[in-house]
Amino acid sequence: MKKTIRIHISGYIFNIEEDAYTILEDWLSKVSNQYSDEEGGDEIINDIEIRVAEIFQDKIGAEEGVISSEEVHKVIDIMGSPEDFEQDVESVETDPKQSGKKSKFKRRLYRDEENNILGGVCSGIANYFGIDPLIIRIIFAATIIFGGFGTIIYILLWIIVPKAETTSQKLEMKGEPVNISNIEKAIKDEFENVKKNFLDKTNSEKLNKFKKGITEITDTFAGLIIKLFKGVSGFIGVVFIIAGILAVILAFSFFFNNSNILFFNHSIFNWQPFINLFPTPFSSTITSIGLFLLIAIPVIMIIYAGTRILFKYKSGGKAFRYTGMSLWIIGIIITSVVAIKFAENHQSENKHANNFTISDNLTNTIYLSLDNKYNKTFDKPDFVMSNYNIITTDNKVKLFGKPNVDIIKSKDNKTNLKLSYSANGKSRKDAYLRAQNISYLWNTKDSILRLQPYFTIKGDNKFYKRELFITLELPVGKKIFLDSGIVNLLDGIKNTENMWDHEMAGQKWIMTNNGLSLNLKNDSVIIEENILPQETDTVKTDSNISI
Amino acid sequence: MSLTHYYSSVRKLLIMKIENAKAQMRKGVLEYCILSILSRGDAYASDIIKELKNVELIVVEGTLYPLLTRQKNAELLSYRWEESTQGPPRKYYRLTEKGESFLGELDRSWTNLTDSVRDIKNQKR
């Protein structure tokens, strides 16, 4: 489906496809330019248009026909291109355009106010060397950001270097020979430009002058606003670009362990701690490359797009875009592969358990509290990823986690402590071995059961999911006091009061058939407040301790 | 500038000069032919184009319109608008008196020219 435009040529109405219109319009404007300043030129253009309309009429017939680019090309073949019309050839001495090339004619440094963003300094310099202004602007922007002395230089140049005003100056700026035909050409070009914006359809001279005056004023005013806008938006654009570049550099230093970039040491913001978590150094490097590409490439592409729009850079850059795209896809592939590998390594789960009988006694209240003798740095971890692996660094990576404590009814009328260590691994055997690496400390003395708030991993510190489930089994009728410190470890204790774990703290509970209850029956009068020495005066610890 | 660069520039210059000369020759002749065609009778622009295409004097139609208008502005031609059944009015060209005498001069000049050229070509050495 194509869009059509309705046009008329010399009073003939046509429907024409959008792309055909562009071609036709281009040809017509070339013709128009060629004869516009000639005496009777309007008539020539008119005759040509009539003829063109005639040809279209022949080709497509009735009103509903649509002109496609095929018809337009046929018309151009028949009529010829504007250059063919004129058998006049310019005098042979002038060379065809020498755009961009350095010529041996005198070249002077001027500011170019026709191609300027701010003051035309960069354009002028670029003209002098015959290169694209974009390069000069990037250099300037870089010197401004990294030190700022570029600003001073720019302002100095803006003041000192004169702007190219007269035609001969403009030619000198671009290094084109200052001779009559070139000046004539330049003047002609400029005249055409002016004419395009000039209102020339009215008769009255006074009205013309008035319109001219208004136009001049609004043009100057608008020109100022546009310049200001260009300047501000240019500045903002540059800020974004620089920020983007900084982000990429930071990402690079993050992933590739280079703490000393940009003159400040940010060793905390570093990939280093994570490296230890990967099974092999190779996999950690690959992952960092993959993630870096994944994140940095889109940022770089945005920066690139920004510079192109900002500096009106027209030509290709296809190679850049394709390279960027492929690198990003590589980043995606690497990250996916790593993710898959990761899943493979963690697909099995296994556990092993330890059971302890703490007491046969039904009557004593057991006090459940926190063991304070643990590594306090664990309380302020550097990094937390889910509940299972909390990482901290003092030049080393330590993994630890929080156990889940549950209190349920005992089946054998004894008070038991069951510890279930669970881990993930490549295979069930692997997972079992890893589960054995979980190390946990607890003790009981008299009727006090002290649990530590964290379990640690001994052996290799690799990143695998590990969990510890602690189940305290109480026979029905057994009373327990929950110290407030233990509350963080509790995990959904079933109770008849429908309280949340944190609400249960600081109170004495009794185990019933339906979970813990606050309803302490007082039929057997037992003094609970004093802790009496017990036969179980031993300090029991986890058999897997290593110190 | 390297030697090859120099030679290719010289060649380009030469080609341009040849095209120049051809164009200059053709240009004068075209105007002469337009006037000749009109001397046989009034005609539309499209008729003139058709005749010139037939004898392969022009390839593209666009060449004609500037010439017609310039000759009209030089008062060698005039036109009037003729209604046509198939579309908008078309210009119907006519040779003016000035044009007729101009044509007469051109005829004489052409004969002289072709005679001279023939003589030179036939010169035996």
Mean per-residue pLDDT over chain A, rounded: 74
Q: How many residues are given for chain B?
A: 125
Q: Tell me what pLDDT residue A285 has.
A: 74
B104: how many CB neighbours lie within 10 A of its CB? 12
Q: Tell me what pLDDT residue A229 has.
A: 67
Average pLDDT over residues A395-407: 80
Q: Tell me what pLDDT residue A194 has.
A: 60
Q: Do A85 and B60 lie within an 8 Å CB cutoff?
A: yes
Q: Would you place residue A499 in the very low, low, confident or very high pLDDT band (cuts 50, 70, 90)? A: confident
B50-88 pLDDT, tens digit per residue, is: 898 888 887 778 888 888 998 998 889 999 998 877 777
Residue of higher predicted confidence among A43 and A389: A43
Q: Would you place residue A392 in the very low, low, confident or very high pLDDT band (cuts 50, 70, 90)? A: low
Residue of higher predicted confidence among A292 and A48: A48
Q: Do A78 and B46 lie within an 8 Å CB cutoff?
A: no
Residue of higher predicted confidence among A172 and A428: A428
Q: Is the pLDDT of residue A263 over 50?
A: no
ipTM of the complex: 0.76
Average pLDDT over residues A461-477: 83
Average pLDDT over residues A319-336: 80
State phi, psi for A279 to the nearest 5 degrees: -55, -40
A57-111 pLDDT, tens digit per residue, is: 887 765 567 888 888 998 998 888 887 776 543 333 334 443 334 444 567 788 8
The answer to which of A104-113, A148-157, A260-269, B17-26 has the lowest mean pLDDT is: A260-269
Q: Do B69 and A43 lie within an 8 Å CB cutoff?
A: yes
User: A430-439 long-range contacts, Cβ below 8 Å, gap at least 24?
Assistant: A430/A348, A431/A348, A431/A349, A431/A350, A432/A350, A432/A351, A432/A352, A434/A350, A434/A464, A434/A466, A435/A350, A435/A351, A435/A352, A435/A466, A436/A352, A436/A544, A437/A466, A438/A466, A438/A468, A438/A544, A439/A542, A439/A544, A439/A545, A439/A546
- Closest CB to A84: pick one of B63, B86, B90: B63
Residue of higher predicted confidence among A196 and A327: A327
Q: Tell me what pLDDT residue A88 has.
A: 44
Q: Tell me what pLDDT residue B29 has.
A: 87
Q: Tell me what pLDDT residue A420 has.
A: 92
Taking a C-beta distance cutoff of 8 angstroms, is the pair A489, A451 a contact? yes
Q: What is the DSSP letter of A111?
A: B
Q: How many angstroms separate the CA of residue B86 from the nearest CA in chain A?
A: 10
Q: Tell me what pLDDT residue A253 has.
A: 67
Average pLDDT over residues B42-56: 89
B88-119 pLDDT, tens digit per residue, is: 788 899 999 989 998 988 888 889 888 998 99
Question: Whole-model pTM?
Answer: 0.40
Q: Do B88 and A39 lie within an 8 Å CB cutoff?
A: no
| Tokens at A502, concatenated | 């944190």
A334-360 pLDDT, tens digit per residue, is: 888 878 877 777 778 888 888 888 877
Taking a C-beta distance cutoff of 8 angstroms, is the pair A250, A235 a contact? no
Q: Do B90 and A50 lie within an 8 Å CB cutoff?
A: yes
* B8 has a chain A CB within 8 A of its CB: no
Residue of higher predicted confidence among A326 and A269: A326
